[in-house]
A and B are shown apart, each in its own frame.
Chain A
Amino acid sequence: MFSTTGNTETIKTTSWKVVLPFYGYAAVAFLIATIFLLLSASDITSHYFLPHSLAITHIMALGWGTMMIMGASHQLVPVLIEGKLYSNKLAYTSFILSAIGIPLLVYGFYVFDMGLLTQCGGILIILAIITYLINLAVSMVKSKHENVHAFFIFTAAIWLLTTTIVGLLLLYNFTNSLMAKSSLDYLPIHAHIGIVGWFLLLVMGVGSRLIPMFLISKYNNTRQLWWIYGLINGGLLSFVYIFLYTDSKSLLSIPLLAVAAAIVVFGDFCFKAYQQRIRKKVDEQMKVSLLSVLMMLLPVIFLVIITILLILSQKEAVNLIITYGFIIFFGWITAIILGMTFKTLPFIVWNKVYHHLAGKGKTPNPKDLFSNKIFKWMCIFYVLGFVLFSAGILFHVTIVLQLAAVLLVLTSLLYNWNVIKLLMHKPVSL
């Protein structure tokens, strides 16, 4: 009747010791980024290529987004690929290399010194990603289960490696003139491979598995997910080609349309998963995660306007470009992390603290290990801070930028409060 294995090996999950350092590091990075944002609020609108802006962008992209995603993926990859994580040692190595590399790189940007120390930071980050990629690849080969989610994650990790290699080349180009043009001219390639290839592809790959799973939805459409995969990768490859080998600005509409279509298809996937859910009540954490899917459309709208203005006037709309960057890193990337942290971390901590007590008495539920009240206040500060800061950049209003930055610092403080509450949780019996 049932194909039984006689063992329970398929329930051994990744150790919490591997995952928690990434979560802790990311939480601190988010706090530092918002403090830097507050300190730079008055001059952030002058240009997007400023030392402080570069530092904030890289704390958000690497320290916050990438560290969080790498940490969570060590826990989630076994669920997604239906196989064990290959090596905890490689995961630790990946953490240590990036934990050292990121501050070196960020410090270099902050003081605008692209010398040896900053380059070492970049090299360490590349080594961390190679280690991560090897761990992913071997885990997938050993799992022998092919599925669409695994393709999303692995391809995203390859794009991440490409992003960091291009980033390092741009760093060398500052001091050694490796390329035909200045590093600033190649910035769109570096930025978009990272944003679309790494963040967007990975969030869609993981989200398309986790959102229906958490909603207990009947909806599943692999064909739709392959379309998203094709549109994102096709769009990105065409963007790189058009950017490097043609001078046509209007051709850029091709990758733009492809990525926009991918986001619409992903939105449709999430909406249908929401409609066909068995569990009617949707918790606050899922609401924030679903909001982040809607927020993916904002940068696309901005990019359409920026591209149209570029075609018509041949001039860059600097405030629109800064807003575009802000609504990506402080918008949907931050929103999905704020939501998903409290859907995943409580379970990891619960396993750490109560695993040995399972079935032996009453224990608290994972969702009771953090404060939902603090979570709600965090969301309120976040939405207000995000909207006000975006408006402040668009209309160059310093006081609004400062007020919004204070709200974002409060957001990160409340986030850290709940994360610390979880990490420090001691067993209680009910």
Chain B
Amino acid sequence: MMNVITNNNIKSTVALAALQNVTDPEIGLNIVDLGLIYQLDFDESQKKIYCTMTLTTQFCPMGESIANAVKENLKLSFPEYEVELDLTFDPPWRHEMISEEGREFLNER
């Protein structure tokens, strides 16, 4: 799994496990191993999750669906939290961001 910046290691582990259910439909690989999730922060006072992520390309036709799936999966695991999704292309996604597990998966396919 890729190193994701977080302020709460325990909760981010749960969140990342939930986000492994979201796959890029073209590649068939989950977005965590694909390296699309950059940062997951939990604001306990406001009960908010701040998720910073990217896409493999800007204006990806599946981008909106992937973003919605991220929100839905986080809400499912943390129903008491509000999810704020921030999409960034700085830095842009690169192949090096794919995890070892992801590379193994793609080598097998």
Contact = CB atoms under 8 A, between A and B. Distances in A.
Nearest to A354: B65
Contacts of A2: 38-39, 52, 88, 90-91
Interface string B79-92: 00000011111110
A8 B25 CA distance: 19
B87 A12 contact: no
Range of interface residues on A (Cβ < 8 Å)? 35 or more
Contact of B22 (A79, A344, A359, A366): A359
Contacts of B26: 214, 347, 366
Given A2-B91, A3-B90, A278-B98, A359 B39 contact: no
A197 interface: no
A85 B39 CA distance: 30
B61 A278 contact: no
B69 interface: yes
Nearest to A281: B109
B11 interface: no
A355 B64 contact: yes
Nearest to A1: B5
A78 B67 CA distance: 18
Nearest to B103: A278
Given A2-B88, A216-B27, A278-B98, A13 B63 contact: yes
A84 B61 CA distance: 11
A280 B91 contact: no
Contacts of A12: 59, 64
Contacts of A13: 59-61, 63-64
Given A1-B5, A10-B59, A350-B62, 18 more contacts: A2-B52, A2-B88, A4-B87, A7-B86, A10-B58, A11-B66, A11-B67, A11-B87, A13-B59, A13-B63, A79-B59, A83-B59, A84-B59, A278-B107, A351-B65, A355-B64, A359-B73, A367-B25
- Kindly list the 4 A-B residue pairs having the minimum CB-CB distance in the complex, ordered from nearest: A359-B72, A359-B69, A11-B63, A78-B59
Interface of B: 5, 22, 25-28, 38-39, 52, 55-73, 76, 85-91, 95, 98, 103, 106-109
Interface of A: 1-8, 10-13, 75, 78-79, 82-84, 213-214, 216, 218, 278-281, 344, 347-348, 350-351, 354-355, 358-360, 365-367
